[in-house]
Amino acid sequence: MRYFIICTALVLSMSFPGQAGKPDSPVVKADWERDFLLANLEFTLLHEFGHLIIEEFKLPVLGMEEDAADRLAIIVMMREHQHESAADFIPWLLSVAGGWYTEWELKEGPKVKLDYWDNHNLEIQRFHNIVCLIVGGHTDLLEDVMDTEFLPFDRAVSCDYEYKQARHALNWLQSSYGQKSIVALKMDAVKVFYKTPREGENKAIFELIKTSQVAEKWAQKLSSSFKFPRPISVEFDNCFGLPDAFWHAPTASVTICYELLSHFSTMIKYRREHSTRACGIPILRKYMKELMSCT
Ligand SMILES: [Zn+2]
């Protein structure tokens, strides 16, 4: 029987420079680093919330649950940020796609054995799936991404359909299980807890995410949207150097490892040093120039 749903790759961080074991890392300060980290935190939280919603409401799932959780997360993010300016929300969304592309690139470089048997799509597939949904929902802004290596033509032609299909699924979820009356809701049904972070990078990450209130915001949104059969906890924890996140059904808890957030921080630093190809695509350069450190 499966209890844990492990949602992120574990191997990469071991070979990252400046990752686990770094004695006194500075608090993340740069806007580009903070935004990348928080966008990926938001996606991770929503992905895990996808698992918990599937579990708690016993939703039927056709296809892979991991893929469903990815699609739910990015569609919710698109809806959440739709009223912001394109200059704000496009880099925010593409930071999530960029995270998966970077994971793949880092894995591809040292020729790590690929887990084709895994219940997660390969990182490069998760990247293309997410890009497809973002472009499908914002064709007016991102049409120029189509027919590039980031969204080949043969895939691009179905992105409008895929986006509408995912949006329809979200609408169905809300109309079927969302609470219409706020009276019946327990507004703190989903609570956030922070385990005392280890000194160094974990402590720096803790201070950043606690200040951002991203987890508290989404916990409150979840509490006010659904009536869950039992209390849910979201816990930030030290994970012995493993950059992971998972939903644990027996205890109704989502765990986010401080090390995963640190991993995101390391990824964006790598990305900025290896951005030549992405910077060469004008539309990506337009929205991501600062984040990717395009020259
Ligand atoms: Zn997952």
pLDDT of 188: 82
Q: Name the residue with higher pLDDT: 106 or 77.
A: 77
Residue 1 has pLDDT above 80, yes or no: no
pLDDT of 168: 97
**Residue 236 contacts residue 195 (beta carbons within 8 Å):** yes
Instruction: State in Å: Cα 119 to ligand 1 middle.
Output: 9
Instruction: State in Å: Cα 120 to ligand 1 middle.
Output: 7
Instruction: State in Å: Cα 4 to ligand 1 middle.
Output: 10
Instruction: State in Å: Cα 234 to ligand 1 middle.
Output: 15
Rounded to the nearest 10°, the torsion over CA 79, 267, 162, 137 is 40
Using pLDDT thresholds of 50, 70 and 90, give the confidence band for residue 6: low
Going from N- to C-terminal start, the domains of the chain cover 4-12+30-292
Instruction: State in Å: Cα 47 to ligand 1 middle.
Output: 6
d(CA 290, CA 94): 13
pLDDT digits (tens, 9 = 90+) for 127-139: 999 999 999 999 9
Q: How many CB atoms lie within 10 A of CB 237?
A: 18
Instruction: State in Å: Cα 197 to ligand 1 middle.
Output: 24
Tokens coding 172: 């169905």
pLDDT of 179: 83
Instruction: State in Å: Cα 23 to ligand 1 middle.
Output: 30
Instruction: State in Å: Cα 110 to ligand 1 middle.
Output: 25
pLDDT digits (tens, 9 = 90+) for 196-224: 998 888 888 999 999 999 999 999 999 99
Q: How many CB atoms lie within 10 A of CB 6?
A: 16
Instruction: State in Å: Cα 52 to ligand 1 middle.
Output: 10
Instruction: State in Å: Cα 214 to ligand 1 middle.
Output: 19
pLDDT of 187: 73
Residue 68 has pLDDT above 80, yes or no: yes
Instruction: State in Å: Cα 96 to ligand 1 middle.
Output: 15
Instruction: State in Å: Cα 102 to ligand 1 middle.
Output: 18
Instruction: State in Å: Cα 48 to ligand 1 middle.
Output: 6
Instruction: State in Å: Cα 70 to ligand 1 middle.
Output: 8
pLDDT of 184: 62
